[in-house]
Amino acid sequence: ARVLVLTGDEKAFCAGADLKSVTEATTNEKLAKEWLAPRPHGPLGFTRLTSPKPTIAAISGYALAGGLELALWCDLRVGTETAKLGFPERRWGVPLIDGGTQRLPRIVGMGRGLDLILSGRIVEADEALAMGLLTEVVAPGKHVERSLEMAKGLAAFPQKTMLSDRRAALEGFGLPLDEALKLEAELGAESTATGVEGAGRFAAGEGRGGEGAGV
């Protein structure tokens, strides 16, 4: 599979950990060892790693706490009009430990990111779209359909160049501009043959008038 789509059900994408169960089943020592200790993977098992392929979160209803962190792990987020996103664990003093403090500001900017991180408020679909937290908003029940449509579009592109550009964006973010540009140039050079082939197809008439320009 060239693209990964993650989803939940109509009620919730993911509402995070069951805090009651965590309290009942976990001692402080076990929590510190298994959840909070620095390690290469997060509580969900993979969220401190980077996916090797494009990822899309198809969100209906709640994406809260660790569920929002999981959605932030994805490259794109398609939400229904019922989507609600936030970090309500702020009110109980539960820390963000699955990438939320790092990925959210990268996606929406530091100001908006700190707003959600500090306040714990929950935003609805229209505000989430306006701040860039959601990529697209669709009618209820259409989130998976639209995400799969986007996935098919991404899967149809020449993969070497798309994955190279994705890597340049992810790895270059936060680097000084000169280093980021060097990384972009190095990764781009590896896709030269693909680019030349694509330019030849365009010269032959493929894609004229914007055909196939987006997903």
Catalytic residues: 69, 89
| 8 Å CB contact between 90 and 36 | no
Backbone angles phi, psi at 59, to 5 degrees: -110, 125
Which amino acid would we find at residue 120? G
Q: How far apart are CA 185 and CA 177, in angstroms?
A: 12
| 8 Å CB contact between 54 and 75 | yes
Q: In what order do the strands lie in the sheet with 12-14?
A: 12-14, 62-64, 84-86, 122-124
Q: How far apart are CA 72 and CA 126, in angstroms?
A: 17
Cβ neighbourhood burial of 87 (10 Å; 0-12, 13-18, 19+): buried
Write the DSSP symbol of residue 89: G
Which amino acid would we find at residue 45? G
